[in-house]
Structure 1
Amino acid sequence: MKGPGLFVAQFIGAQAPFNTLSGLARWAGGLGYRALQLPTHLDHIFNLAQAASSQDYCDAVRGTLAEHGLVISELSTHIQGQCVAVHPAYDLLFNRFAPLSVRDCASSRTQWAVTQLGLAAQASARLGLKAHATFSGALAWPYLYPWPPRDNGLIDLAFSELATRWQPIVTAFEEVGVDLCFELHPGEDLHDGTSFERFAGLLGNPPRCAILYDPSHMLLQQMDYLSFIDLYHDQIGAFHVKDAEFHPTGRQGVYGGFADWRDRAGRFRSPGDGQIDFNGVFSRLAQYGYEGWAVLEWECCLKSATQGAREGASFIQRHMIEMTQQSFDDFAASPLSTQERQHCLGLSGTDNIP
């Protein structure tokens, strides 16, 4: 495992040092981070189209980060991935994610998003990256809770259409050898293991169709986020270090009752301030040989972003595990000959000790 990394989407702003890539790199490097996960929808931070077509641009971006001891962990197309599939109920809100030229036309917005993901595959390859982070978008999400009762074919059609839209994108990432990692997230059709399996199965389970593991979203769904690693470790290609807490009350539970974040039963917290067993998470990922980055994603309803980032690098570093190359009891090991092994098992055919 590599780390600590930082997803900078929540830190970009109008004021220095958060308004340029070099400023973000200088700030994050000074906090002890070794990598940045870069969003790709803001050209003044990272120009996706230019990165897809120009090796010189990619080399310049890497050089900017290297000046501060940083590399790119992954590129992110969360915004564009969301727009690959948008239910009409969310058209108005998600129009704001897309450029003016394709707003108010769902098919144009979808094609723009698909093109953006294709550019992301090319840019990731030029940068020598192993993984990419994104959202799936959602057609079926408004029908999550089956009331009124769902028509049996409704969800089948939604996932079939979702797979059709993502098929050329997955193929593009397969061709360049980069894992396309879907963050399993409420609000997306891919939000848990069951929905991911359904989607990946429709695509033929391509090896580059992967998962961005974020235990906070699983805790808020009341999933077993440690067993999730046991089940899907071969498909985890990226990792967000984000905490959460869940305290159900007599008034609300998983769904939150439309309360503000501070008043919800389930809330995101800065790492170490919530309920996630990060010792268990890092141990499971290390046990299964996860080789990607541990990337802090700051989302907290109480602690400031700057404090969360300041504390996050050391938090991740403390949880990183250097895998042992020896067994703890090697010092007491005593190799046996074949005859001795047979004797130990009572198979030697003699009562005499060798």
Structure 2
Amino acid sequence: MTSLKTIRGPGLFIAQYLGAAPLFSDIDGVSGFAAQNGFKALQVPVHDKAIIDTERLEESDYIDDWRATIERHGLVVSDIAAHRAGQLLAVHPAYDGVMDAFAPAEVRGDPAARQLYAEQELRRAIALAARIGAGKLATFSGSLLWPFFYPYPPAPPGLIERGFAALAARWRPLLDFADRLGVDICFELHPGQDLHDGATFAAFLAQVDNHPRARLLYDPSHLRLQHLDYLGFIDRWHARIAAFHVKDAEFRPSPDRGVYGGYGDWVDRPGRFRSPGDGDIDFSGIFSSLTRYGYDGWAVLEWECCLKNAFDGAREGARFIADHIIHTTQRDFDAGMRRSAPPGELDRMLGLRS
């Protein structure tokens, strides 16, 4: 019998659907929207207190009622997400102004206070993931090195190593805290973050002693737009993949713009995010590879399309994921043809003589 596992899904990362409209302004409304569109789980970000207030984590009635609201719609929580807090944990001064938009007003303009806020928010998010049994936190790594990712003149010797050591020093206590609570920290590799490809993730792992809770959120769109081998990436890193975003992308070569986009808007860039099935990513290959390696986490739609509206993206995306999930066999197709050979028969079958 095989030991393959079936990927769970479809799930919905609700960050891009939140807003002032009643359907998307609280957990009840967005849960109803997800259920109506065929989703079975929510990946929940912690940056919006109207959706989840992590400062109330110790109020058992609040958390129990919150989870019951989701479950009333036939849904579960696949993962907790804290991308903004992860990004704010490590910010190069060049980005202070724009990153402050992710921080509460009381810590803006104060990088040290902002970093402390980010650490506290990540700890609360980890605790929430443990409290509700999700066991996974999706996040970004933050960045101290991004201004030097393609430097001219070259970075001085030791700068890159020092940056990774400093980043690891900020994350190591959080990884240890997550380990005590049984939670995986799943880094989404993303341009703008120090962890943006396999090489940078490997450099980080070396600094945190290959910490068992340092895992990956696999999002092929960010690998495609960097022209990485996103299928080979699964072969290389499958043991660390603990979360999965289903997000499509395409790269259309241009005589004027390259992979950096020429400061263009998304619709004008050669590399663009698309709704699942509208880009050029081989999701059949991805689902096959993840299934082969025993990934049994959730396949979660992250809608970010520069052309299609979010409502069609959700409706079509849920069906796209459901159609790509491989319900694994529990019986090898040739099991009935396989028989054991008694001692000595193998040599006879090969025509060998003692």
User: Which TM bucket (shorter chain)?
Assistant: over 0.9
Kindly report which structure 2 residues correspond to 1:155-166, keeping only aligned pairs within 5 A, or say none.
Answer: 155-166=160-171
Q: Indicate if the aligned counterparts of 1:135 and 1:188 stay in contact, CA closer than 8 A.
A: yes
Which residue pairs with 1:216 in the alignment? 221
Kindly report which structure 2 residues correspond to 1:303-322, keeping only aligned pairs within 5 A, or say none.
Answer: 303-322=308-327
Question: Do structure 1's residue 114 and structure 2's residue 119 form an aligned pair?
Answer: yes
Output one character per residue of 1:221-255: Cα deviation in whole Å (capped at 9) or x when no partner.
Answer: 00000000000000001000000000112212211
Which residue pairs with 1:129 in the alignment? 134
Output one character per residue of 1:272-330: Cα deviation in whole Å (capped at 9) or x when no partner.
Answer: 00011000000000000002110000000000011100111110000001121222223
Q: Indicate if the aligned counterparts of 1:339 and 1:348 stay in contact, CA closer than 8 A.
A: no
Q: 1:78 aligns with which of 83, 88, 100?
A: 83
**Residue 146 (structure 1) shift:** 2.2
Kindly report which structure 2 residues correspond to 1:1-354, keeping only aligned pairs within 5 A, or say none.
Answer: 1-51=7-57, 53-347=58-352, 349=354
Count of residue pairs brought into register by the alignment: 348
Name the stretch that deviates more: 332-341 or 155-164.
332-341
| Higher RCO (C-alpha 8 Å, min separation 6) | 2
User: 3-state SS of the aligned residue for 2:250?
Assistant: strand
- The amino acid that maps onto 2:56 is Q
- State the superposition RMSD in angstroms: 1.1
**Residue 348 (structure 1) shift:** 5.1
Output one character per residue of 1:142-166: Cα deviation in whole Å (capped at 9) or x when no partner.
Answer: 1110211110111111111111111
- The amino acid that maps onto 1:341 is L
Note the residue ranges of structure 2 that are not aligned, 5 or more in a row.
Answer: 1-6
Question: Percent of aligned pairs with the same residue?
Answer: 51
TM-score (norm. length: structure 1): 0.96
Structure 1: distance between partners of 2:124 and 2:311: 31
User: 3-state SS of the aligned residue for 1:294?
Assistant: strand
Structure 1: distance between partners of 2:257 and 2:129: 42
**Residue 50 (structure 1) shift:** 1.4
Structure 2: distance between partners of 1:152 and 1:321: 48
Structure 2: distance between partners of 1:257 and 1:45: 36
Name the stretch that deviates more: 282-291 or 155-164.
155-164
- The amino acid that maps onto 2:27 is L
Note the residue ranges of structure 1 that are not aligned, 5 or more in a row.
Answer: 350-354
- The amino acid that maps onto 2:53 is N
**Residue 211 (structure 1) shift:** 0.5
User: 3-state SS of the aligned residue for 1:210?
Assistant: strand
Q: Indicate if the aligned counterparts of 1:17 and 1:23 stay in contact, CA closer than 8 A.
A: yes
Structure 1: distance between partners of 2:242 and 2:36: 27
